[in-house]
Amino acid sequence: MSAMLDNVVSMAVFARVVQAGSFTGAAATLGLSKSVVSARISALEAKLGVRLLHRTTRRLSLTPDGGHLYEQCARLVAAADEAQGALDSAFREPEGVVRVTVPVGMGLWHLPTLVRELHILHPRLVLDVSLSDHHVDIVAEGFDVAIRVAERLEPSTLVARRIGRERMILCASPAYVQKHGEPASPDDLAQHNCLRLGSLGRTWTFRSGRQTLTMTISGSLITDNIVMLRQAVIDGVGVARLPMSIVSADIEAHRLKRILPDHALGEPSIFVVHPYRKHMPTKVRAFIDVFVSRFKL
């Protein structure tokens, strides 16, 4: 075992010499003396029975045998560097800025609690939050994480993790119901002003028992902002599908009334999206872990 480890060390030293272009440079990188580095290379050549480097007073160059060996040794060193980086990341206290884009409603109603908990757990973490209901290009815009609520996501090179579903309910204001009547079935919605989020499409799917019904709806408002949609419903403009997590207080306060409570609505998924397929930064991992474990819907 000790002989094998000694060979691995010598190969790593050889790779560093080639990368540095000199014994002196490699010695500085490795924190060794130049004589130790030179002795390692000489011992490796003796063991293999080949010359690995042409040495002159001005430069080093690889022999053909040295070139073949270097390809293998470079991969060895790269793998070791990668493993060391992952290990350092795993044990380092999360710090720095995490840029996150979050849907407006989710950010306004739920993110303040998460921000407080994140600060308690990781006080050196800085959260840079953008509230937007647009699906921005997180790589081009420089975001680390996007929280998205959607029926489905378009295929991409990003990593998307579904962490749950958003319970949706149909709502109208008491004033709207008094003026226009309350729908008794999904079919009745054809006679009502149905307001909607543009990102969730023109259809509402209802389930009652084993029956499923999909309605194409229309109305006087299409918006990408759920705060605006909620306010329009409270103001009596029409009927809308809204997240229970956002409007539960409005229902309790009788600002809104739940419509068709016996018909379950389709529930969009909640996704955590990020570009890190390998070596996710510790700060990003910390945010995602807290979001997934603490976020309550």
How open is the CA angle 165-150-248, to the nearest 5 degrees?
Answer: 50
Tokens of 55: 């040495």
Within 10 Å of residue 63's Cβ, how many Cβ atoms?
15
Residue 69: predicted pLDDT: 87
At residue 172, φ and ψ (nearest 5 deg) are -150, 165
Judge whether 2-91 and 168-265 match in fold.
no
Query: Phi-psi bin for 275: left (phi > 0), alpha (psi -120 to 50), beta?
Result: alpha
Lowest mean pLDDT among 93-102, 145-154, 172-181: 145-154
Q: 168-265: what CATH class?
A: alpha beta
Q: How confident is the model at residue 146 (pLDDT cuts 50, 70, 90)?
A: very high
Q: What is the mean pLDDT of residues 14-26?
A: 85
Q: How confident is the model at residue 102 (pLDDT cuts 50, 70, 90)?
A: very high
Q: What is the mean pLDDT of residues 114-142?
A: 90
- What dotted CATH number matches 96-166+269-294? 3.40.190.10
Residue 242: predicted pLDDT: 93
Q: Which fold has domain 2-91?
A: Arc Repressor Mutant, subunit A (1.10.10)
Q: What is the mean pLDDT of residues 235-252?
A: 94
Residue 264: predicted pLDDT: 87
Whether the per-residue pLDDT at 154 is higher than 70: the answer is yes
In terms of Cα–Cα distance, which of 128, 173, 145 is closest to 275? Answer: 145
Q: Are strands 159-165 and 125-131 parallel, antiparallel or unpaired?
A: unpaired
Q: How confident is the model at residue 89 (pLDDT cuts 50, 70, 90)?
A: low
In terms of Cα–Cα distance, which of 259, 256, 263 is closest to 234? Answer: 256
Domain boundaries, the chain: 2-91, 96-166+269-294, 168-265
Share of the chain above pLDDT 70, in %: 94
Share of the chain above pLDDT 90, in %: 36
**How many CA atoms lie less than 13 Å away from 273 in the CB half-sphere?**
24
Residue 1: predicted pLDDT: 43
Quick one: 188 exposed, middle or buried, by C-beta within 10 A (0-12, 13-18, 19+)? middle
Distance CA 222, CA 198 (A): 6
In terms of Cα–Cα distance, which of 156, 164, 121 is closest to 282? Answer: 121
Q: What is the mean pLDDT of residues 227-246?
A: 94
Distance CA 245, CA 243 (A): 5
Q: Write the pLDDT tens digit of every residue in 196-207.
A: 988 677 888 888
